[in-house]
Amino acid sequence: MDHHLILRVVTKLLVAPILLYGLYVQFHGDFGPGGGFQAGVIFAVGFILYGIVFGLRRLRKSFPDYFVHRLVALGVLIYAGTGVVNMLLGGNFLDYNVLAEEGYKGQHWGIIAVELGVGVTVFGVMMAIYYSFAGRPPRLDDKDW
Amino acid sequence: MELALTILLFVALVATALTIALVRRLFAVVMLSGVFSLLSALLFVLMDAVDVAFTEAAVGAGISSVLMLGTIALTARSEKRPERYSLVPLAVVLLTGGVLIYGTLDMPNFGAADAPVQLHVGPDYIRKTPEDIDVPNIVTAVLASYRGFDTLGEVTVVFTAGLGVVLLISGLGRRIRRRREGAD
Amino acid sequence: MNMQFDVEFLLGHMNYWLFVVLMMTGLYIVVARGNLLKKIVGLNIFQAAVFMLYISMGKISGGTAPIATGNPDEIYSNPLPHVLILTAIVVGIATTSLGLALIVRINESYGTIEEDEILELDRIKSDEEIEKLKTEASNSK
């Protein structure tokens, strides 16, 4: 896509706000619409946009495959790990009340941790899927569309 | 006003769906399915489901279009012209639709506050969330805390699906094998 | 069933019928169209219609989105369907991508993504195999 000057300039302007918005959606999910599922997707969209316009090779250089694959597992681990921590602290699995002295504060911590796990996994899965599809040699030329 | 908007959105949705059924160029099909997702996100906002609308807009119009375009680039551009049109699918669809509509006749009116759905678990969540969890977004509270175990399952499903895609088409195994052969 | 088909009933149920229309359009695409990618799009339409049906059940007239406003008299729509559908959408895209990946693999081994051509290729292949087995059997006699 070297000849699309406008696309390249606009993408450079857009990627950072998209990522910032993804973080906002992730951590503001308790107060407004949003949460890990949406944030993971939006965060991945920022990277995918970069990959579409500047080429998969450059995206892979800054965000290698093995890193993405580890993120996919890390999210589930964070989620389940939160539950296990609760058990170690004497509560039930995924019962966040034991995470702080007052129950509702523990719930806040638990929700943030769990949503982070969701966000990381969804982000990782979306990136892994995009890498898988975009990494194969395409059958159609740019002109065929 | 709300009713008029709902009907307008529905007409647009049905028109999009029918066009998807008729168009044979796959690029147009994918773009129309993005339009369909955005329209359904609007409908979700009308029905108070802001979180769902948000997800649908990000997932349906964003990621899903990208993946389908990627699939087209790897496979084919347009659908083959069908050799013959059969009436059997139409009959099956009309029959199923008729049965479903018959099933809806027993349902409570749209938006009724005394419908069975509204009497059971939902009100408890709304009442108890401020004391138990104290976050304003009740959907997040239910998702991450009350039904945290459910969500763990969903995350695992997403994880497994991602794993499946990577195993099927990422070419990772081929690359690892090649590297191993190179090392020998 | 004692019911009267008055205006209130029609307006209260119109939503459900429109969902059914959408659902059936999706089903028609899945059943009648042979292109695998289009089948997936049809499945997505069907799925979206089911989501709408779910969400519409949680709606309360005069209610608002289930995000606490601090007003004690506020009526909120039921948050439970929202939670279920929220996760279903993300699981839906994950499974859709799995289906797309399968389409890519099918295209690589068959060279086509049209259902009837794939079935035809399968039939030819199995015919050849039967022929082969027959000749082997007659040779061993």
Q: How far apart are the first and last CA of chain B?
A: 72
Contact criterion met (CB < 8 Å) for A52 and B66 = yes
Question: Residue B47's Cα: distance from chain center in Å?
Answer: 16
C90 vs A129: CB contact, 8 Å cut-off? no
Q: B134 pLDDT band (50/70/90 cuts)? A: confident
Residue B40 host element (H or E): helix B26-46
Domain count, chain B: 1
Residue of chain A nearest C99, judged by CA positions? A129
C61 and B113 in contact (C-beta within 8 Å)? yes
Contact criterion met (CB below 8 Å) for B144 and B135: no
Work out the burial of residue A43: count CB atoms within 10 Å of its CB; fewer than 13 is exposed, 13-18 middle, 19 or more buried. Answer: buried
Distance CA A68, CA A70 (A): 5
CB-CB under 8 Å, A37 with C86: yes
- Subunits with at least 3 CB pairs below 8 A relative to chain B? A, C
Residues of A contacting chain C (CB within 8 angstroms): 31-33, 35, 37, 41, 122, 125, 129, 132-133, 136
- The CATH class that applies to domain C7-110 reads mainly alpha
Q: How much is the pLDDT for B98?
A: 94
pLDDT at res. C102: 93
Are C101 and A122 a contacting pair at CB < 8 A? no
Interacting residues of C52 by C-beta distance below 8 A, sequence separation 6+: B40, B43, B44, B47, C19, C22
Chains that touch C (3 or more CB pairs under 8 A): A, B
CB pairs under 8 A between B and C: 270
| pLDDT tens column, C75-116 | 888 899 999 998 899 889 988 999 999 999 999 888 888 888
Residue B166 lies in a domain: no
Rg (alpha carbons) of chain B, rounded to whole number = 23
Is the residue at B171 inside a domain?
no
ipTM of the complex: 0.89
Q: What is the pLDDT of residue A1?
A: 60
Chain A touched by B74 (CB under 8 Å): yes
Distance, CA of B50 to CA of A33 (rounded, Å): 6
From C63, C76, A120, select the one nearest B137 (Cα to Cα).
C76
Q: CA of B57 to nearest chain C CA: how many angstroms apart?
A: 10
From CA B135, how far away is CA B131, in angstroms rounded? 9
Rounded average pLDDT over A24-33: 88
- At A42-99, the pLDDT tens digits run 999 999 999 989 888 999 998 898 899 999 999 999 999 999 999 999 888 888 888 8
What domain range includes position B6? Answer: 1-80
Cβ contact A134–B75 (<8 Å): no
Convert the pLDDT of each residue in A100-126 to its tens digit. Answer: 888 788 888 899 999 999 999 999 999
Contact B71/A at CB under 8 A: yes
Phi and psi for B65 in degrees, rounded to 5? -65, -45
Least confidently predicted of A1-10, B11-20, C20-29, C88-97: A1-10
Chain A residue with Cα closest to B27? A145
Contact across the interface for B67 and A129, Cβ inside 8 Å? yes
C100 touches chain A (CB under 8 A): yes
Q: SS3 sequence, A51-83?
A: HHHHCHHHHHHHCCHHHHHHHHHHHHHHHHHHH
With beta carbons under 8 A apart, name residues in chain C contacting B121: 80
- Tell me the average pLDDT across A21-50: 90
Report yes or no: B28 at the A interface, CB cutoff 8 Å.
Answer: no
Domain ranges of chain A: 5-134
Q: Which residues of C touch A31 (CB under 8 A)?
A: 67
